[in-house]
A and B are shown apart, each in its own frame.
Chain A
Amino acid sequence: GAVVSQHPSWVICKSGTSVKIECRSLDFQATTMFWYRQFPKQSLMLMATSNEGSKATYEQGVEKDKFLINHASLTLSTLTVTSAHPEDSSFYICSALPPSGRPLNEQFFGPGTRLTVL
């Protein structure tokens, strides 16, 4: 099956610093990746859609200058939380969409990254 990895799996940082989270599709190329945010015991909220070689599409209410997304290759998308604050603490999950067989393909999810901002 398709495997998606995230790095790091958890990170603790000080308020005001920036944190980069990587999402990689290990055995397939993904022209489209998605970034989700999940608060404890809550559902996943889509933050943005990341397309290889173009700018990300952000959902309403998501600050694009705070959550920088770069999809530089067909197997890597990064999410950078800039000037992180405690309210940014959350579980961030990425998913990747294989290009072949559209539109029936399912998203494959990474294991998530737990961000704690002190």
Chain B
Amino acid sequence: EAQVTQNPRYLITVTGKKLTVTCSQNMNHEYMSWYRQDPGLGLRQIYYSMNVEVTDKGDVPEGYKVSRKEKRNFPLILESPSPNQTSLYFCASSPREGLLIGQYFGPGTRLTVT
């Protein structure tokens, strides 16, 4: 089954404790992206990647890091989480030219930073 998976689905952590949210897709897609979703603000893009070893900043990259060492994986790293990073995070992927057909989203990771 074609899918985007994220782990963990729920995470409660404390300020400053480094964490990684994993994202994996099995569709051989070139394009992968991370978003955060907050009430009243909608989805905001954090980082995106057009292919292996190619990453670019989205609209809200501060406080986040990503890497794309393999085509299928695109982890999101929070080196020193802060409470303002409490949010719902989505990973997504699509074929590079198939931004035309929209992205496939993972199920989401709800992160709480206390």
- Our verdict on whether A and B bind, yes or no, reads no
A contact residues vs B (CB 8 Å cutoff): none
B contact residues vs A (CB 8 Å cutoff): none
